[in-house]
Structure 1
Amino acid sequence: MANEICIIFMLLTISYCFCQTTDDKKKLFTELFINKSYNKQVRPKNDKDDAIRVTVDFEMSSIHELDEVAEKISVAGYLDVIWWDDQLVWDRATNNDIYYMLVLQDTVWKPDIVLKNGFHKFEELGGSFYYVRVKYDGRISWYPYHVFESQCSIDVTFYPFDDQTCHIIFTIWTYRYDEVEIDSKSKFEIDEYTENSLWAITSTSVQIQRIVGSSEIIFTINLRRKPTYYIVNIIIPLIFLGILNSLVFIIPADAGEKMSYSITVFLSFAVFLTIITAQLPVNSESTSILSIYIVIQLSYCILVLVVNSFQLRIHHRHEGIAKSKIFVFAVKLQRRMCCWRNKIQSETNEKGRINIEDRSAIENASPQKNHNEEAIKWRDVSSAIDFCAFWILIGTDLIITLIIFIHIGVDKSFI
């Protein structure tokens, strides 16, 4: 008995679902759009003093591109636009229980929503082949899909560890806010979003405002760059080049390769500066800290070229030319620093065993010491310049590198 009741119920349900025929919908369409003289150019509100409230939800599916040079963002998605049309209302009971119908978007009145901060000229949303869903109570749903290209101001200060904020602004172009107004219940949805390989979405927001008598909605996307690619291909090579720049002072002056080596490193930094500059917008409002770092490294390269030129000239000076005190001091400093560990070890081993013979040996060594000071050659001065310049350059380069990247990390934590 129970099975028979279920079968009867299913048959009744099927017959109910298929009771609406094409003729019924044609009749309803004729009634709404022809007999009632529907005019899509007239705002469909019975009370002309009331504004039509339009809900605009944005469902973003992907970020195609964020062009830093052109300061443009391209996103793909569709708008879920909902409003009520008082002229498209029917009684379900007298129309064979028709719940909704689909009509072409050019058949009905639509709010003239446009992308206000678009990168190109104004274009109508949707297309002639798009349909809208009309419900029996006048509720109309419209889903225009588009690739939206909008302007986006780029702040490259912390490139490539930067965060960017882009706005996609839609406005009701013709009607005033007291005629057509965007509903505050509008939402920004990313449920169907496909992750971008270079940018991660940190947050989104929606803001409704009135500008020059019109209602507009602002969809805000907060993005964070994924820096792995730039760390591997730009930052790490830059740090290695900075180390190589210091190694020029290890090459012997007689090798004849010091100047060519320095010029090669200089040109490598220039190439990296060109690569980074090509990826950044042309503006003076913000300057990339990474670009400043490369300029500092280029300055170091120029300083290295100057020091090498001076050092090679000293290396080939005639021994008859007198040496100034600063050169003698540089040679003594190099020798003391190189022999410092050996001297400490020797003093430790001989502690407590100094006798009169040792004292006489030390006294006899003093004239020899003076003789060694007088025997300093220009080659020794050249070697001392290499020694001092190497440690000064590599030390300051390490300090500057740490300061710059710590500055980026600390400043970003307060933003």
Structure 2
Amino acid sequence: MDFVSVKILVIVLEASTLTLAYSINDTKDLLTELFTSNSYNKKVRPIKDQDKEVNVTITFQISAITQFDEQEESLTTAGYLSVEWVDEMLAWATADHNGISRLIVPQDDIWKPDISLRNSFSSFKGLGSSYFNAWIISNGDVQWEPFQIFKSTCSVDITFFPYDSQTCEMKFIAWSYSKNEVKFFLSSGIMKTDYSESATWEIAKMSSKASNEDTPTIIFTLKLNRKPLFYVLNMIVPVILLSFMNIFTFALPVKSGERASYAVTLFLSISVFLTIIASEFPKNSDNLSILALYLILMTSVSTIFVLVSVLQIRLVNRDEENMVIGTFYKLLLRLVNVLICNKCNGRKKKVDAIGESKDTDNSGIPDQSEAEAEVTWLDVVHAMDFLCFWIGSFVIFVVTLTIMLLLLNNPQRN
């Protein structure tokens, strides 16, 4: 008995479906009625009381971030706007047209709000194209979803590059209409239903707002966080390694003849990275990148190391008999002897630059002229190596640690 009941129900449903089916002639008749018999004019706002506004509801469906150009300061996104409004001139009774409840018509055959991207970067044009269609429901509801590539302007802040965060806006307006003719409303803001993740940027936050104070405007805001891994591995790590390699300029024997060329090579390498990173930034003076500042500091340190290396080469080739070691160099040598604690096994340390003490097997104290005779320019250069190595290590470590902490603690990414 249950099987028979089910069978009868299926037959009734099939009969109902056949009864509600409509033919191509029904669709043609409906189109003729709407667009010909009713004298539809797409140049007229689709509302019977022309003193009222047409309410337009908008949602942005973002598909992908195709490009963010820091040089041009532009953002290129792919997606479409889901635009809905009520066209009172395109409403019909489904019972009079064999149950037709929806029509699909070309977008250029009906009235639509002339929505445009106000902050467009390259060209100013309306949405959609002639081959896009719109959906019309029997109660007059119209849904229009024009897909487009949007290229908008976006101010770039490269202070914390490559841990930077950029906030970009897309401003859509009804170009020809005032607030008394068209009003914009938000439906769902920005949707990521079909979004494809970018390899360079991630969307950290999305927001939207509608304004009808003057020109109907709707603003979609994207907060983008850069994915830093590529730049960390290919820029930051090599630069840090080059910076610490600078220190070993003073570990290289000055008489090897390679110290100056080694220092110059490191200077040129850091300069190349500075040029590469500068090419990633927009040509403006509003913001200074912390990473660029670090490179400038390391370039300055490298320049100082080159100059000191050249000076040391000149000093080591001096003749002590013709070029007397001055007081400054003697004090420098004495300072280094104090720092390295050059006492060993209870023996007195070697004569310093002032000649106060000397390694000796007896308690006799030599005069100053004898002590000075044992101090050479090579000793002075070794003392300079010691000071430059440790002072340079401290400066580079502190600067590097400070810069990295500033980059990692970017407040904009929170």
Displacement of 1:9 after TM fit? Answer: 2.9
Mean alpha-carbon deviation: is it higher for 83-92 or for 368-377? Answer: 368-377
2:280 counterpart letter in structure 1: Q
Q: Does residue 276 of the first structure (1) align with residue 277 of the second (2)?
A: yes
CA distance in 2, matches of 1:323, 1:366: 24
For 1:92-144, what per-residue CA distance to the aligned partner results, in whole angstroms no more than 9, with x for missing partners?
11111111111111110010000100112222311111110000000000010
Q: SS of 1:244's equivalent?
A: helix
Query: Match for 1:9 among 8, 12, 19?
Result: 12
TM value normalised by structure 2: 0.91
Q: Which residue of 2 aligns with 1:367?
A: 365
For 1:259-295, what per-residue CA distance to the aligned partner results, in whole angstroms no more than 9, with x for missing partners?
1111111111111011011110001111111111111
For 1:9-53, what per-residue CA distance to the aligned partner results, in whole angstroms no more than 9, with x for missing partners?
342243145x21110010000000000110000111111111000
Displacement of 1:413 after TM fit? Answer: 6.6
Q: 1:199 to 1:37 in 2, by over 3 A?
A: same
Give the structure with the higher percent helix: 1
Q: 1:296 to 1:366 in 2, by over 3 A?
A: farther
Q: Which residue of 1 aligns with 2:133?
A: 131
Mean alpha-carbon deviation: is it higher for 255-264 or for 65-74? Answer: 255-264
Gaps of 5+ in 1: 348-360
Q: Does residue 393 of the first structure (1) align with residue 392 of the second (2)?
A: yes
Q: Does residue 319 of the first structure (1) align with residue 320 of the second (2)?
A: yes
What is the Cα-based RMSD across aligned positions, in Å?
2.0
Q: Which residue of 2 aligns with 1:222?
A: 223
Displacement of 1:244 after TM fit? Answer: 1.1
- Runs in 1 of length 4+ with deviation above 4 angstroms? 368-374
TM value normalised by structure 1: 0.91
Paired residues in the alignment total 397
For 1:203-225, what per-residue CA distance to the aligned partner results, in whole angstroms no more than 9, with x for missing partners?
100011246x3111000000101
Aligned residue runs from structure 1 range 67-82, under 5 A = 67-82=69-84
Mean alpha-carbon deviation: is it higher for 166-175 or for 400-409? Answer: 400-409
CA distance in 2, matches of 1:230, 1:76: 25
Aligned residue runs from structure 1 range 52-131, under 5 A = 52-131=54-133
Q: Which residue of 2 aligns with 1:301?
A: 302
For 1:208-252, what per-residue CA distance to the aligned partner results, in whole angstroms no more than 9, with x for missing partners?
1246x3111000000101111111110111111111111111111
Q: SS of 1:185's equivalent?
A: strand
CA distance in 2, matches of 1:269, 1:362: 48
CA distance in 2, matches of 1:82, 1:210: 17
Q: 1:267 to 1:132 in 2, by over 3 A?
A: same
Indicate conservation of the 8 Å contact 2:173/2:215, yes or no: yes
Identity %: 35
Gaps of 5+ in 2: 347-358
Q: Does residue 51 of the first structure (1) align with residue 53 of the second (2)?
A: yes
2:110 counterpart letter in structure 1: V
Indicate conservation of the 8 Å contact 2:164/2:413, yes or no: no
1:364 counterpart letter in structure 2: N
Mean alpha-carbon deviation: is it higher for 371-380 or for 117-126? Answer: 371-380
Indicate conservation of the 8 Å contact 1:55/1:186, yes or no: no
Q: 1:286 to 1:413 in 2, by over 3 A?
A: closer
Q: SS of 1:214's equivalent?
A: coil
Q: Which residue of 2 aligns with 1:158?
A: 160
For 1:57-97, what per-residue CA distance to the aligned partner results, in whole angstroms no more than 9, with x for missing partners?
00001000100010000000011000000100101111111
Displacement of 1:372 after TM fit? Answer: 5.2
